[in-house]
């Protein structure tokens, strides 16, 4: 069953805080939920579907349903890490198309700056997890698994640290126009290269920020969207995929986006060349390079050259990417950046991005995210969104 046109994003809200020491996790979820519903012109009483993930407190959907005072007839707590909110939009569209709900609320929130916790990555040392006995002796971390991807890409295709740095440079040019961005200062390629090495070849400025905060989305049936006083953003295509290491038989140069991207474009009936703006998950600079290739914006191995020389900067290059500053400069709430990717895509389609970065006549946008690690096992999720008159 195709979900093309089966649902619309009516509300989107990003929490303004990047550090929230005095706000509980449950209340962060409540605040972003209230913001997204207000943006849509709806109330908590209108919500009949709730979509959350592993960042939710307590028993996830059960805890938040009670905390928010909801009466829902459909819940979904799929957890694919940072890509979870993007997966949730696709699942919400499916549920709406199937008649399971008509107003779906998606929330994400976290406090990793105020209350650091190993919760998201506890399984790296849990001996009951199947892969841990084989991987724990090598003491892998999120950063060094992405460094492996970067080093392999360099080996295979000649990608350079200077090219990776351009992803950060583009993000910083966008973040300077975002009053909430954690790192609003414009940086140069040399600034990135001069920052300390974290995991060779990745420097500190190749890595995303860690932030509190969150965001929420409201996905509704088209009949409801038509009755709201908001620009209509239609879910035109959605897909998800999972890539593991296949017992060691793994090619580090491609991601799950190579599967989810073409599937989403096929459902949407469009091609990468039709996309005016792209939100691309940027946990690290190499993440963007690999995903742009896998999504079809450039050929495999051409990602480094594609991102260089400002090609991702709005108003300068050919494909504006992450015009809010992305995870590299704006925020990465709960160590899961998927929700902000959708929020900025919605802003662009509505014409509500900052004037300095707004893409002219933006009528087709893409949001893509990963969850887990490109160097081991991860999920990819792709959304194609369209503005209609």
Contact 163, 286 (CB under 8 A): no
Question: Where residue 118 falls among pLDDT bands split at 50, 70, 90?
Answer: low
Q: For residue 318, how many C-alpha atoms fall within 13 Å in the half-sphere facing its CB?
A: 11
Q: Output the CA torsion sign for 304, 308, 311, 312.
A: positive
* Top-level class of domain 8-115+212-234: alpha beta
Average predicted confidence (pLDDT) for the chain? 95
For residues 174 and 347, give the distance between their C-alpha atoms in angstroms, rounded to a whole number: 14
The predicted pLDDT at position 123 comes to: 61
Question: Where residue 117 falls among pLDDT bands split at 50, 70, 90?
Answer: low
Residue 241 has pLDDT above 80, yes or no: yes
3-state secondary structure 255-298: CCHHHHHHHHHHHHCCCHHHCCEEEECCCEHHHHHHHHHHCCCC
Residue 212 has pLDDT above 60, yes or no: yes
Residue 139 has pLDDT above 80, yes or no: no
For residues 96 and 312, give the distance between their C-alpha atoms in angstroms, rounded to a whole number: 34
The predicted pLDDT at position 121 comes to: 58
Strand, helix or coil at 374? Answer: coil
Contact 292, 307 (CB under 8 A): yes
Question: Where residue 349 falls among pLDDT bands split at 50, 70, 90?
Answer: very high
List Cβ neighbours of 150 (8 Å cut-off, separation of 6 or more): 159, 164, 201, 202, 206, 284, 285, 286
The predicted pLDDT at position 244 comes to: 92
Q: In whole angstroms, how large is the CA radius of gyration of the chain?
A: 19
Strand, helix or coil at 181? Answer: coil
List Cβ neighbours of 19 (8 Å cut-off, separation of 6 or more): 113, 114, 211, 212
Phi, psi dihedrals of residue 109, rounded to the nearest 5°: -160, 155
For residues 10 and 207, give the distance between their C-alpha atoms in angstroms, rounded to a whole number: 32
For residues 9 and 221, give the distance between their C-alpha atoms in angstroms, rounded to a whole number: 9
**DSSP-assigned states of every residue in 313-359:** STTTSSS-B-TT-IIIII--BTT--HHHHHHHHHHHHHT-S-TTTPP
Residue 128 has pLDDT above 90, yes or no: no
Tell me the mean pLDDT in the region 345-360.
Answer: 98
Residue 183 has pLDDT above 60, yes or no: yes
CATH of range 126-210+237-388; options 3.50.50.60, 3.40.605.10, 2.40.10.10, 3.40.47.10: 3.40.47.10
Phi, psi dihedrals of residue 87, rounded to the nearest 5°: -60, -40
Q: What is the pTM of this model?
A: 0.96
Residue 219 has pLDDT above 70, yes or no: yes
Tell me the mean pLDDT in the region 179-203.
Answer: 98
For residues 133 and 253, give the distance between their C-alpha atoms in angstroms, rounded to a whole number: 25
| Local structure of residue 229 (DSSP, 8 states) | S
Tell me the mean pLDDT in the region 212-217.
Answer: 97
Burial of 50 by CB count in 10 Å (0-12 exposed, 13-18 middle, 19+ buried)? buried
Contact 250, 373 (CB under 8 A): no
The CA angle 342-227-109, to the nearest 5 degrees, is 30
CATH 3.40.47.10 range(s) for the chain read 8-115+212-234, 126-210+237-388
Question: Where residue 326 falls among pLDDT bands split at 50, 70, 90?
Answer: very high
- Count of beta carbons in the 10 Å neighbourhood of residue 78: 16
The predicted pLDDT at position 1 comes to: 73
> How are beta strands 103-110 and 49-51 bridged, if at all?
parallel
């Amino acid at each position: 069953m195709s979900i093309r046109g089966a649902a619309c994003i009516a509300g989107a809200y990003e929490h303004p805080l990047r550090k929230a020491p005095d706000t509980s996790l449950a209340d962060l979820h409540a605040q972003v939920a209230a913001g997204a519903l207000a943006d849509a012109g709806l109330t908590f009483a209108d919500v009949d579907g709730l979509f959350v993930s592993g960042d939710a407190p307590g028993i996830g959907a059960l805890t938040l349903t009670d905390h928010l005072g909801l009466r829902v007839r459909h819940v979904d707590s799929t957890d694919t890490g940072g890509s979870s909110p993007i997966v949730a939009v696709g699942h919400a569209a499916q549920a709406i198309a199937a008649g399971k709900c008509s107003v779906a609320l998606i929330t994400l929130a976290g406090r990793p700056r105020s209350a650091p916790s190993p919760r998201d990555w506890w399984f790296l040392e849990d001996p009951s997890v199947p892969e841990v006995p084989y991987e724990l002796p090598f003491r892998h971390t999120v950063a060094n698994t992405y460094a492996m991807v970067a080093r392999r890409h360099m080996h295979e295709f000649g990608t350079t640290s200077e090219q990776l740095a351009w992803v950060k440079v583009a993000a910083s040019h966008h973040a300077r126009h975002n009053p909430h961005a954690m790192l609003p200062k414009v940086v140069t390629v040399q600034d990135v290269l001069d920052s300390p090495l974290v995991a060779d070849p990745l420097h500190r400025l190749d890595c995303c920020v860690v932030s509190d905060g969150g965001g929420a989305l409201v996905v509704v049936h088209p009949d409801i969207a038509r009755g709201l006083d908001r620009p209509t953003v239609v879910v035109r295509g959605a897909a998800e995929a999972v890539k593991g290491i296949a017992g060691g038989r793994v090619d580090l140069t491609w991601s799950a986006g190579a599967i989810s991207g073409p599937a989403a474009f096929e459902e949407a009936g469009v091609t990468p060349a039709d996309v005016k703006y792209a939100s691309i998950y940027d946990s690290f600079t190499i993440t963007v390079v690999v995903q742009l290739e896998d999504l079809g914006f450039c050929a495999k191995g051409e990602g480094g050259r594609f991102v260089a020389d400002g090609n991702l900067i709005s108003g300068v290059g050919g494909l504006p990417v992450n015009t809010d500053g992305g995870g590299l400069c704006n925020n990465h709430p709960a160590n899961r950046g998927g929700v902000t990717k959708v929020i900025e895509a919605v802003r662009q389609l509505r014409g509500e991005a900052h004037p300095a970065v707004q893409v002219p006549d933006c009528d087709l946008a893409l949001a893509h995210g990963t969850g887990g690690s490109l160097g081991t096992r991860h999920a990819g999720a792709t959304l194609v969104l369209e503005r209609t008159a």
